[in-house]
């Protein structure tokens, strides 16, 4: 079965005010279907993001929240994805 993967950068901000964008496409989100096949090696995706120029936004104190979501497609009856994970890290500069 496939998994629907979605990454949201700076998700607590409105779309037009997001301070972090992906280098490829200059968007604040990424979506892709990941093929999961038993017995194969794990898949990895490297996505490079950048912080917009600080002159483009006023809010420099609130954290940059990222989210990753994995979901089964709606066309996958009888399959269940178990587990919830919350990872938080604060990095100072």
Q: What is the mean pLDDT of residues 64-76?
A: 81
Q: Are strands 29-35 and 20-22 parallel, antiparallel or unpaired?
A: unpaired
Residues 30-66 pLDDT 10s: 999 888 888 888 878 899 999 988 777 777 777 888 8
How buried is 9 (Cβ within 10 angstroms: 0-12 exposed, 13-18 middle, 19+ buried)? buried
pTM: 0.76
CATH number for the domain formed by residue range(s) 2-91: 2.60.40.1460
Domain coordinates of the chain in residue numbers?
Answer: 2-91
């Amino acid at each position: 079965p496939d998994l629907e993967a979605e990454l949201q950068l700076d998700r607590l901000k409105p779309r037009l005010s997001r301070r972090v964008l992906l280098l490829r496409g200059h968007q604040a989100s990424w979506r892709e279907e990941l093929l999961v096949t038993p017995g194969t090696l794990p898949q990895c995706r490297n996505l490079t993001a950048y912080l917009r120029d600080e002159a483009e936004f006023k809010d420099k104190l609130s954290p940059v929240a990222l989210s990753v979501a994995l979901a089964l497609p709606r066309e996958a009856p009888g399959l269940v994805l178990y587990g919830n994970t919350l990872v938080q890290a604060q990095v100072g500069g």
